[in-house]
Amino acid sequence: MPLRLNMRETGFEQKFNALLAMKREVSEDVDSAARTIIEDVIARGDAALIDLSQKFDRVDLAKMGLRVGAADIKAAIAACDADALAALKLAHARIVAFHQRQKPSDLRFTDAEGVELGWRWSAIEAVGLYVPGGTASYPSSVLMNAAPAKVAGVPRIVMVVPAPGGVINPLVLAAADLAGVDEVYRVGGAQAVAALAYGTATIAPVAKIVGPGNAFVAAAKRRVFGKVGIDMIAGPSEVLVLADKSANAAWIAADLLAQAEHDTAAQSLLITDDKDLADDVVHAVEHQLALLPRKDIAGASWRDFGAIILCDRLGDAIALADRIAPEHLEIMAEDAEALATRVRNAGAIFLGGHTPEAIGDYVGGSNHVLPTARSARFSSGLGVLDFMKRTSILKCTSESLRVLGPAAIALGKAEGLDAHARSVAIRLNLG
């Protein structure tokens, strides 16, 4: 049974804080292991990648080769289920169409003082995409990471994916091909992150690394941050459903379980003003859970981290939603739109009963890489801007420098930076 809370009951604030503070993930301390691996890759390059892949993935890359060749990719595509491939193509087209709207504009203007100002966006020169192996090797995530990079205009997109026992999910390779990934290497773990950051004889270094991974990958990404850019460190996934009596309990239950099946550390939350709905959802979850192949995972997540909060009015729940800052927020209520506009912190909002979060995971078009673990308070889902950077541009004329110069000189002197002041003064013949 999930936790049941009521905003009215005494002690709610404490219980809600305990829910927020709940540690869903044991953060393994693998930092020193990651460090050793990174140092090995820096020192020995490809040889380290080969040895570590033998050790962790039981695959002989000296024989198989580090790079996944065009023929391998072609063969993988041929091996894919036709329906899945068609679905992947639909998803890709929609993701590209959505992200094309995120392309930022350059700016250049001349202000009243005659100073030209502006900025120019440019794509990052090379991006590495980490894709997990095994059961968490999701083709949809390949699209979600690679498509925005391609839309941004990144000229070189490199994918790394471990090949345990020599095997890579064919649909992952098909997604890479579809999204325009330029190079694919069958290497994973901290060693793949190190190779992307520092380069080896076979893998040229990139400027930024994105994509989810296990604790070793996360630790390696933290370590190479600075040398290269990284995206967020992804935590276990979560959903918050806000619903009133107009909502369908069975649909809510299905969405809570879709979240819960990801991981025993995933979290599914419901806030409602309708006690009957709350009870119906609990029963529907129990009923549907029994039918799921991943019922052990989903059941553990729901039991350990699931919660239902009863409130007097859904409007009261907005402040709670902002404190939860959910990765996914579904609103199934009569005034869903009005409620949504009042939410500050959420990775993505799914409006109305006909928008299960799974649509956003696959074919909606918006990105499914979203801020987890309350980081929607300060960060956004992945998008085109994550693959671009902005260079600001400044141009003074001799006249505009004469207008602004004295203030720059005054501030330089006030900060004890005389050479700053002098670099302006010398141009005004004041030096």
For its own copies, the binding residues in 287-316 under the rule CB under 8 A are 288, 291-294, 298
Choice from 91, 158, 243, 309 touching its own copies (CB under 8 A): 91
- Number of alpha carbons in the 13 Å side-chain half-sphere of residue 191: 25
- Stretch touching its own copies by CB under 8 A, among 5-13, 49-57, 108-116, 192-200: 108-116
* DSSP character string of 101-138: TTPPPPEEEE-TTS-EEEEEEEE-S-EEEE---GGG--
User: From the CB of 110, what's the least distance to its own copies, in Å?
Assistant: 12
The CA distances from residue 124 to 151, 281, 351, in Å, are: 12, 46, 34
For its own copies (CB under 8 A), the number of binding residues is: 127
User: From the CB of 176, what's the least distance to its own copies, in Å?
Assistant: 15
Q: Is 283 a catalytic residue?
A: no
Choice from 101, 283, 287, 313 touching its own copies (CB under 8 A): 101
**98 near its own copies, judged by CB under 8 A:** yes
CA neighbor of 107 nearest in space, from 389, 387, 390: 390
User: From the CB of 234, what's the least distance to its own copies, in Å?
Assistant: 10
> Tokens 């006249």 appear where?
399
- Interface with its own copies in residues 7-36 (CB under 8 A): none
Instruction: List Cβ neighbours of 84 (8 Å cut-off, separation of 6 or more).
Output: 139, 171
CB 156 within 8 A of CB 188: no
- Interface with its own copies in residues 139-178 (CB under 8 A): 139-140, 171
Residue of 238, 327, 330, 357 marked catalytic:
327
- Stretch touching its own copies by CB under 8 A, among 70-78, 144-152, 160-168, 285-293: 285-293
- Please say which residue, 144 or 307, places its beta carbon nearer to its own copies: 144
Residue 202, Cβ neighbours under 10 Å: how many?
Answer: 17
φ, ψ at 45 (rounded to 5°): 60, -130
- From residue 383 to residue 422, the character string flagging contacts with its own copies as x (rule: CB under 8 A) and all else as - is x-x---xxxxxxxxxx-xx--xxxxx-xxxxxxxxxxxxx
**110 near its own copies, judged by CB under 8 A:** no
User: From the CB of 70, what's the least distance to its own copies, in Å?
Assistant: 23
- Please say which residue, 197 or 314, places its beta carbon nearer to its own copies: 197
* DSSP character string of 61-78: HHHH-SB--HHHHHHHHH
User: From the CB of 364, what's the least distance to its own copies, in Å?
Assistant: 5
> Hey, is 211 helix, strand or coil?
coil
- Please say which residue, 52 or 148, places its beta carbon nearer to its own copies: 148
> Tokens 């039981």 appear where?
58
Q: Is 327 a catalytic residue?
A: yes
User: From the CB of 74, what's the least distance to its own copies, in Å?
Assistant: 19
**375 near its own copies, judged by CB under 8 A:** yes
Residue of 262, 328, 330, 357 marked catalytic:
328
**423 near its own copies, judged by CB under 8 A:** yes
User: From the CB of 37, what's the least distance to its own copies, in Å?
Assistant: 19
Choice from 18, 275, 377, 430 touching its own copies (CB under 8 A): 377
Please return the burial class of 428, using the count of CB atoms within 10 Å of its CB with bins 0-12, 13-18 and 19+: middle
d(CA 257, CA 2): 12
The CA distances from residue 422 to 381, 425, 431, in Å, are: 45, 5, 6
**430 near its own copies, judged by CB under 8 A:** no
Choice from 57, 255, 274, 280 touching its own copies (CB under 8 A): 255
- Cα dihedral 148→154→155→159 (10° resolution): -60
Q: Give the pair of three-digit tokens for residue 409.
A: 């000189």
| Active-site annotation, residues | 327-328
